[in-house]
Amino acid sequence: MAAGMEKRVTFKGIWLPLLLVAPQVVVTAVFFFYPAGQAIWQSLFIPDPFGLSSRFVGLGNFEFLLSNSYYRASFVTTAIFSILVTVVSMGVALWLAVLADRLIKGSGTYRTLLIWPYAVAPAVAGVLWMFMFNTRIGVVTWYLGKLGYDWNHVLNGTEAMGLVVVASAWGRISYNFLFFLAGLQAIPRSVIEAAAIDGAHFWTRFRTIVWPLLSPTTFFLLVVNIVYAFFETFGVIHTITAGGPQQSTTILVYKVYADGFVGQDLGSSAAQSVILLAVVSVLTVIQFRYIERRVHY
Amino acid sequence: MSGMVERRGAAYWLTHVGLILGVAFVFFPIWLAFVASTVTQAEIVRPPMPLLPGRHLVENYREALVAGVNVPVARMMFNSMVMALGIALGKIAISLLSAFAIVYFRFPGRKVFFWLIFLTLMLPVEVRIVPTFEVIAGFGMLNSYSGLILPLIASATATFLFRQFFMTVPDELAEAARVDGAGPMRFFRDILVPMSRTNMAALFVILFIYGWNQYLWPLLITTDPRMNTIVMGIKQMFPSGDDLANWPVIMATSILAMLPPVAVVIFMQNLFIRGLVDSEK
């Protein structure tokens, strides 16, 4: 991206620009590169039980992690969780965006009504959903009980997963709705009208015209939502389930926290950070390659 | 196609019904929290709780703001405000300066610097929590505002945004400034910054929400309840054992926790949407 795009007109000077970039360089070096480097360094050691010294183990922490059934289970949990959050929030958002796009008047009102939950923090969303499904006093739990269903996400791992998925997807609908609606409104009306005149029904039009034209938006949202589910849902998990029951909702980011801060296993936590770093890098590369392609078109 | 819908047939009404169901799904959890913040503890612990607001709004909110559970909620809101403003303003300030340097100067190390900040894109603090925590602890910045703010402004998204924008600024403006004998900082202050106002405002909206809604980082570094932020403080209001939580106060706190960012989204909707689209480009 950097190459090719340069200003013709520039100012002279060496010290001034260095001074200008200094604040960012210092903050990034101290709070980003140094800790990231430390994570990589620490991942190669095992501290002794008293924390006085540590022993070099090379890739031992990684080997241990990858052969550890809890860690592998956490990978599977994260995959299931991310896929469900992405599918649920994008599905609901697309459905609402398609409906709002059909309206000539009023789509702005619905947009205003639907976008503001974006501002609700994941941790607050967690508290709200935990309140509704609280096993003792939750309203939804109570009505489910009336219908003969005994809801208990504190004991039932599947229900716990369902609850954290819905709470995480709920806060994300606004974001996806906004981008889907913008994508739909960018599709030329003439294309759709032509198909309508040819007698294509709504579903046929959607499948053959709208969906393919919407695919750049869909792909972009797919990546962004997976990143969200991986890294920004810690608050939801921590407030609703704290990773339980029996680790059934322990996603990778939660495990870094639980092992590093609760379990005090620094070597393992650092190795997990490094693995997550690799995951983020791959996702970033995918996103940037896609965005560059979009720019070139 | 739209014409057919506007004919107010079944499709028209089904469209509205579908949208209203969606809005209801989005609103219901917040409505319930609001109702819970206006009733008494007794009404909540005897399920089912009422679905319409009660008469205890003022006393619940007053109790939350003044007394809270561990610390007054007003104090936590103040902490959140300092953190959110610090992150938003701090990130905008350092990014504006470095983007200006990258775009308008040729200096040694420019390329290296560019790629280094590129690396920081999208790497959330969640991934490097343990070592970042140790850095903050080493500086004695636990339970401090700088400890809450600094690690979260160490990323380059905003720098990229300003760089993209500066690239679109016509070269003639810098040329004219140079011909007039205006120095680079004069050009920056009198031309570039005023031109970037909308971008700055849009970015501010997004960063303010981002900062206000932080959870994991304040949870780690604020061990003193008086430094808790409101979003992370809610969870701390639940008793650890089997005791009953003070639901009306907790729910009032949840509503208070979403008010500032929600107000920002609603009242600055256009800037918000612009910021969202810009920062994902």
Please provide the CATH number assigned to the domain covering B73-280. Answer: 1.10.3720.10
The CATH architecture to which A73-296 belongs is Orthogonal Bundle (1.10)
Q: What are the respective helix, strand and coil percentages of chain B, to the nearest 5?
A: 75, 0, 25
* Lookup: tokens for A54: 């540590």
Q: Are A57 and A46 in contact (CB under 8 A)?
A: yes
Q: Cβ of A7 and B103 within 8 Å?
A: yes
Domain boundaries of chain B, sorted by first residue: 73-280
State residue A292's pLDDT score.
Answer: 53
Domain boundaries of chain A, sorted by first residue: 73-296
Distance (Å, whole) CA B22 – CA A113: 10
Q: Cβ of B171 and A7 within 8 Å?
A: yes
Q: How sure is the predictor about B270, in pLDDT bands with cuts at 50, 70 and 90?
A: confident
- DSSP assignment of B198-229, as one string? HHHHHHHHHHHHHHHT--HHHHHH--SGGG--
**pLDDT of chain A, 297 residues: tens digit per residue:** 444 467 777 888 889 999 999 999 899 889 888 888 888 888 888 776 666 677 788 788 888 888 888 899 999 999 999 999 999 999 999 999 999 988 877 778 888 888 888 899 999 999 999 999 999 889 999 999 999 999 999 999 999 999 999 999 999 999 999 999 989 988 888 887 887 787 778 788 888 888 888 988 898 898 889 989 988 899 999 999 998 898 999 999 999 899 888 877 777 888 888 888 888 778 777 776 765 554 333
**pLDDT per position as a tens digit, B106-120:** 888 888 877 777 777
**pTM for this model (two decimals):** 0.89
Residue A56: strand pairing partners: A45
The answer to whether the complex's ipTM is over 0.85 is yes
Best of B76, B173, B216 to disrupt the A interface (most A CBs within 10 Å) is: B216
Spell out which residues of chain B touch residue A106, defining contact as CB-CB under 8 Å.
Answer: 16
Q: Cβ of A125 and B273 within 8 Å?
A: no
Chain A contact present for B210, CB below 8 A: no
Distance (Å, whole) CA A68 – CA A90: 33
Calculate how close chain A gets to B37, using CA atoms only, in Å: 12
Q: What is the CA radius of gyration of chain B?
A: 24
Q: Cβ of A257 and B128 within 8 Å?
A: no
Q: What is the CA radius of gyration of chain A?
A: 24
